[in-house]
């Protein structure tokens, strides 16, 4: 959801990618995540499940900022990122782990989208001079407290 939302809000100023530590073979994004994005008017074109290993290769896109977003990621060892990008962690509960019925799970996805959106709105509206590596890393880390 964060990838699609940042690409939507960033309007070309940012290029977001998402990945996980161990997606399963032929794993697809959660259908409720895709539904939530579509209902919010956010394109899901090109979204697919991928490993973060895809972004650790020399021919991978350059990363200026890497933000981990799931609560489980906080304790994991992250891979080496070429170019040593700024890093931050924004913890969110996994909405797919809500098991109180589909209605509650839908609400959890909407809530998570809104939480991510609040932080990304601030990030995308930073002035250009605030986007150097140290400033963006500190800002991204500060946003984890909101």
Domains parsed from the chain with CATH numbers: 2-143 (3.40.50.2300)
* Mean pLDDT lowest among 15-19, 34-38, 45-49, 84-88: 84-88
- Name the pTM for this structure: 0.84
pLDDT, residue 111, reads 97
Q: Are 65 and 86 in contact (CB under 8 A)?
A: yes
pLDDT in tens, 127-142: 877 777 767 778 888 8
Residue 72 has what pLDDT? 58
Is residue 75 scored above 80 in pLDDT? no
Q: What is the pLDDT of residues 20-63, one digit of tens each?
A: 877 777 788 999 999 999 999 999 999 999 888 888 788 888 88
* Long-range contacts of the stretch 25-33 (C-beta < 8 A, 24+): 30/96, 30/109, 32/95, 32/96, 32/102, 32/105, 32/106, 32/109, 33/1, 33/95, 33/96, 33/109
Question: Which pLDDT score is estimated for 58?
Answer: 81
Q: What are the distances in angstroms from CA 20 to CA 6, 16, 38, 125? A: 17, 14, 21, 27
pLDDT greater at residue 145 or residue 120: 120
**Burial class (CB within 10 angstroms; exposed 0-12, middle 13-18, buried 19+) of 86:** buried
Q: Quick count: other Cβ atoms within 10 Å of Cβ 12?
A: 6
Which carries the bigger pLDDT value, residue 95 or residue 138?
95
């Amino acid at each position: 959801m964060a990838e699609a939302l940042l690409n939507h809000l960033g309007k070309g100023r940012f290029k977001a990618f998402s990945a996980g530590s161990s997606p399963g073979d032929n794993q697809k994004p959660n259908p409720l995540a895709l539904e939530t994005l579509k209902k919010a008017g956010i394109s899901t074109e090109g979204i697919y499940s991928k490993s973060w290993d895809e972004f650790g290769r020399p021919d991978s896109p350059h990363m200026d900022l890497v933000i981990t977003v799931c609560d489980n990621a906080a304790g994991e060892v992250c891979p080496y990122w070429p170019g040593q990008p700024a890093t931050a962690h924004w913890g969110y509960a996994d909405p797919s782990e809500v098991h109180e019925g589909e209605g509650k799970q839908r609400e959890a996805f909407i809530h998570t989208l809104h939480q991510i959106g609040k932080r990304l709105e601030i990030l995308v509206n930073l002035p250009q001079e605030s986007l150097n590596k140290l400033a963006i890393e500190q800002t991204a880390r500060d946003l984890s407290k909101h």
